[in-house]
Structure 1
């Protein structure tokens, strides 16, 4: 029998909240995400806090403007683990976000370019029920 290595404990911190699919809900999602990050040791105004604020603001704005289904909320989840944060935003609209074409005059899509610039990686995944989840992973400095 080979000796087994002890597994290191990994702490994963999670925050989850549903918000109304309104501008007020989007603003509250950003504010609570930054507050939660502060509780996890990344103070307001730090590069990590600013990055998460930008990502949540863009995802929540997209959920309100493009992913809104009347009477349905959106959900924000944050998973903090070993210097990274995974931001997940779920809404009930079936359309998936796409990066804009290389057309500088294109309407919209620039928020996804910002997300791509600050994220380690991002994508979409199906969710239970209607809609999708857009997720973004960022390194916290």
Structure 2
């Protein structure tokens, strides 16, 4: 569980990096965790935390970010001058698959999956 604070995105990224050795996919995973955690931090209501879960198998890493915020995440098409709106665009480009799911209680889960060629 991560607080809604400014340092939480880096802590979430470091947590996932420490949990899996993903070889050539490590950078993709770190970027996607940063983007998903940033969105969770932004959309988590005050007084709530967000959860990052990692499921690692030999040839697959599945990352979930749970938050209590409302809304349905969607890929945006930001203008060149926009200073945000690219997070899920990056996740869609870097992950092998991604999506959203309902969760028990308020909020949602946004997940990303990464295939590993060499295994863990």
Range class of TM-score, shorter chain: 0.7 to 0.9
- Structure 1: gaps spanning 5 or more residues: 1-17
The correspondence for 1:109, drawn from 85, 92, 96, is 85
1:24 maps onto 2:7 in alignment: yes
Cα RMSD (Å) of the superposition?
1.6
The correspondence for 1:129, drawn from 92, 105, 110, is 105
Q: Cα gap change, 1:102/1:91 in structure 2, threshold over 3 Å: closer, same or farther? A: closer
Q: Paired residue for 1:51?
A: 28
The correspondence for 1:71, drawn from 43, 47, 53, is 47
The correspondence for 1:61, drawn from 38, 55, 73, is 38
Q: Paired residue for 1:84?
A: 60
Bigger radius of gyration among the two: 1
- 4+ runs deviating over 6 angstroms: none
> Could you tell me whether the CA contact under 8 Å between 1:23 and 1:61 is conserved in 2?
no
Q: CA offset at residue 37 of structure 1?
A: 1.1
How many residue pairs match? The answer is 117
CA distance in 1, matches of 2:74, 2:52: 20
- Structure 2: gaps spanning 5 or more residues: none
Bigger RCO of structures 1 and 2 (CA < 8 A, at least 6 apart):
2
SS at match of 1:33: helix
Once the two structures are superposed, residues 29-83 of structure 1 have per-residue CA deviations (whole angstroms, 9 ceiling, x without a partner) of 1011101113xxx3xxx42211111111000011112x12001000001111231
